[in-house]
Amino acid sequence: MTRHLSTFEPATGALIAELPIGDAAREVATARAAWSGWAATPLTERIETLRRFAEIVRTRAEAFADLIARETGKPLWEARTEVDTVIAKVAISITAQAERAGERVSDQPGGGRMALRHRPHGVLAVLGPYNFPAHLPNGHIVPALLAGNAVVFKPSEKTPATGAFLVECYHAAGVPEGVVRLLIGGPDEGRALAGHDGIDGLLFTGSARTGIALNRQFAERPEKILALEMGGNNPLLVWDDPDLDAAAALIVQSAYTTAGQRCTAGRRLIVEDRLYDPLIAALTRLTDRLIVGAPHDEPAPFMGPVIDNDAAELLDMAFGKLVDMGAHVIRSLERPIPDRPFLTPAILDVMDVTDRPDDELFGPVLQVSRTRDFADAIGQANATRYGLSASLISPSRERYEQFWSGVRAGIVNWNRPTNGAASSAPFGGIGWSGNHRPSAYYAADYCAYPVASAEADQAAATIPVGLR
């Protein structure tokens, strides 16, 4: 009897779809059988196929955005921007493929050539997250396909319908069905896929806890590529004399976009002491105006619910723990609809909290501290195992240069939010934020391996020393 995975709308609880749970071994075998044919397909044909994929997504954009909005709970306007990034990823990846994994041939002194070419790994597993269920896995899959790999994609069990829609777009564009395989399932299917001997690598976006488990699992398999994009406990510093209303807007964009469910979300706000009161006043005025609602509500909400009731309850518990540890509530984390995972944007002053947990609270919770000393502010920013994103709001370039050189993060911004990273730049972090394999523009680096070749048209060699 076939088992099914059900997916529901976070905003309403309505059933979206019931999808049959797959078998990891069968999907890997199918991809393995199809891989060599795809790898032998000329790069120009692979490029044209992926360009058709972008056009297929463009023609289905509104239906795709509607599904993403319903399955994640994010506002429809935000779901539309996610579809736009899926489309844009193709052109960016084609450019990156040529720049970072293209063929290079150079003449060598004394004759002959040095050639650099790249080869695909084979079958790559892709594990996708629920917060950007199309954009983030697509960011692995498109460069993997361009490089000549086959892919077995397991979407998050919380957003399987979006994953199925994405795969159907690849197939409609002419990517052979064996080359992109969809594995529906939960943690058991994910573990079976990650542990299957038939994969040549795994590309992961998700929590640090899962990423660390995968790192341990792959520790004795150095022949398999492992690219980990994990979480962040990202700092946002406000210093000197910025426009406070603009600063408040940047803080809100950092902390509460996607209901705080971004790995780059600003989670820790560190404020110059003298700016604290006026900045908090500006920030609370703005957060009190934010609309929290369902994806298709009018007027459009700024943020929707978190992914499900379990996530909402975990955030509520973490918020309560910080309050018990001495945090002062500036704006409480509230659930306006008790049986649905809508949460209001929360702000906590954590100056009186000792031994604050270094946890990624994946939701709309902002922790605020203050200090008079900028070096101490950088020290607070670096007081985390993570190292994904950090941002400074200040009118001083000198201050930014000090911040840039002192903070530990893979993304360091100035007068911009902590989130919203460009796909035309590398993306990734240090520490618990990943394993130093930046994605986005640099994804081509881990989707193929370089082969260096010394070449000559004729064999010619002598042994000038050491002969009798």
> Which helix (H) or strand (E) element contains residue 390?
strand 389-393
Q: How many domains does the chain have?
A: 2
Residue 420 lies in a domain: no
Residues 93 and 161 in one domain: yes
Mean pLDDT of 13-28: 98
Residue 244 lies in a domain: yes
pLDDT at 269: 98
pLDDT at 423: 87
Non-local CB neighbours of 410 within 8 Å, separated by 6+ positions: 387, 388, 389, 426, 427, 428, 429, 430, 433, 434, 438
Query: At which residue do the structure tokens 């997916």 appear?
Result: 7
What CATH number does residue 167 fall under?
3.40.605.10
Mean pLDDT of 350-364: 96
Residues 323 and 184 in one domain: no
Residues 220 and 254 in one domain: no
pLDDT at 111: 83
Residues 383 and 299 in one domain: yes
Please state, for a pLDDT cut of 90, what percent of the chain lies above it: 95
pLDDT band at 421 (very low <50, low <70, confident <90, very high): confident
Mean pLDDT of 215-244: 96
pLDDT at 39: 98
DSSP three-state, residue 188: helix
Residue 465 lies in a domain: no
> Which among 403, 428, 424 is positioned nearest to 413, based on CA atoms?
403
Residues 284 and 216 in one domain: no
Mean pLDDT of 307-322: 98
pLDDT at 460: 85
CB 263 within 8 A of CB 230: yes
Q: Which residues are catalytic?
A: 229, 263
- Dihedrals phi, psi of 105, to nearest 5 degrees: -130, 130
The answer, yes or no, to whether residue 333 has pLDDT greater than 90, is yes
Residues 262 and 399 in one domain: yes
- Dihedrals phi, psi of 191, to nearest 5 degrees: -65, -40
pLDDT at 241: 94
pLDDT band at 350 (very low <50, low <70, confident <90, very high): very high
pLDDT at 420: 87
pLDDT at 64: 98
Mean pLDDT of 409-437: 94
Residues 96 and 193 in one domain: yes
β-strands 328-331, 225-229 pairing: unpaired
pLDDT tens-digit series, residues 439-467: 999 999 999 999 999 999 999 888 999 99
Residue 466 lies in a domain: no
pLDDT tens-digit series, residues 81-116: 999 999 999 999 999 999 999 999 999 887 889 999
The answer, yes or no, to whether residue 60 has pLDDT greater than 80, is yes
DSSP three-state, residue 193: helix
pLDDT tens-digit series, residues 166-213: 999 999 999 999 999 999 999 999 999 999 999 999 999 999 999 999
What CATH number does residue 275 fall under?
3.40.309.10
Residue 343 lies in a domain: yes
Cα dihedral 298, 299, 300, 303 sign:
negative
Residues 377 and 450 in one domain: no
Domain span at residue 252 reads 234-414
Mean pLDDT of 345-356: 97
Residues 89 and 113 in one domain: yes
Residue 460 lies in a domain: no
Residues 243 and 217 in one domain: no
Residue 464 lies in a domain: no
- What pTM value is reported for the model? 0.96
Residues 245 and 201 in one domain: no
Helices (H), 108-243: 135-147, 160-172, 187-194, 208-217
Residues 220 and 129 in one domain: yes
pLDDT band at 436 (very low <50, low <70, confident <90, very high): confident
The answer, yes or no, to whether residue 1 has pLDDT greater than 80, is no
Single-letter residue type at 384:
T
CB 163 within 8 A of CB 192: no
